[in-house]
Amino acid sequence: MSTIVKLSQADILQQDNSVVLQNISLSIGEGEFTYLIGKTGSGKSSLLKTLYAALPLQKGHGEVAGIDLRNVSRKNVHILRRKLGIVFQDFNLLTDRNVEANLEFVLRATGWTDKEDITKRVEEVLNDVGLLHKRLSMPYELSGGEQQRIVIARALLNKPVLLIADEPTGNLDPETSDDVLMLLRNLAKQNNTAVLCATHDYRILQNFPARIVRVNQGKLIDEEGVATV
């Protein structure tokens, strides 16, 4: 099993350059599903942002999908992000176009040009999330759960090796949250995609158990209670 995320002796900085996590290590393998938990302000989102290079890694070693995070710049960040899928709590769908056009926009923005290939890939990911019949719907015509499924479909477009989910069920009711988590788990297994899911929803951890990494007092602690340093 290849390693998709590897951090070693890394410091994680917040937007203001203050250190929020210090001297941490983390390893996530291909196809592995991992929860990231911790209090608000503990550094979960900063860690995720570092992994997709929205925040720089200035100290320590970090690799994501074989790319050295220290070498990522504005000019080449697209190379990293093509290998990632990112799901946020807020859906951030383009409200002026339908589902199909939302997904086509992402493919074209990431270098896809062939119309037939684009149409085929859009249909594939919509089928994966069970919403092919909604491809011509506008975002406002969809429920919250359906919108989040479209966001997951969007994240899958470029066949990522790592799916980063930041509170993906934060705006959903419990039943819909369960549906979305089950979908993420099944897709990860089906596509052998690593998933790192930050959540506050401890009910989900009980219903869908997996590896847990806890952020606590500037450190990462695995589910056995051993600091990952």
Task: Give the rounded percent of residues in the chain with a pLDDT score beyond 90.
Answer: 70
Q: Does residue 23 carry a pLDDT above 50?
A: yes
In angstroms, rounded to a whole number, what is the distance separating the alpha carbons of residues 169 and 147?
A: 11
Mean pLDDT, the chain, rounded, equals: 91
User: Could you read off the pLDDT of 44-75 as tens digits, one per residue?
Assistant: 999 999 999 999 998 999 999 999 999 999 88
> What tokens appear for 171 in the block?
């705006």
Tell me the Cα Rg of the chain.
17
The CA-based angle 79-32-56, given to 5 degrees, is: 40
Residue-wise pLDDT for 71-88, tens only, equals 999 889 989 988 999 998
pLDDT digits (tens, 9 = 90+) for 103-136: 999 999 888 999 999 999 999 999 999 999 999 9
* Range of lowest pLDDT (89-98, 124-133, 219-228): 219-228
Identify the pLDDT of residue 225.
44
Percent of the chain with pLDDT strictly greater than 70: 97
- Per-residue confidence (pLDDT) for residue 224, from 0 to 100: 54
Nearest alpha-carbon partner for 171 in 203, 199, 144, 142: 144
pLDDT at 229: 43
Residue type, 83: K
pLDDT, tens only, 168-191: 888 888 998 898 899 889 888 888
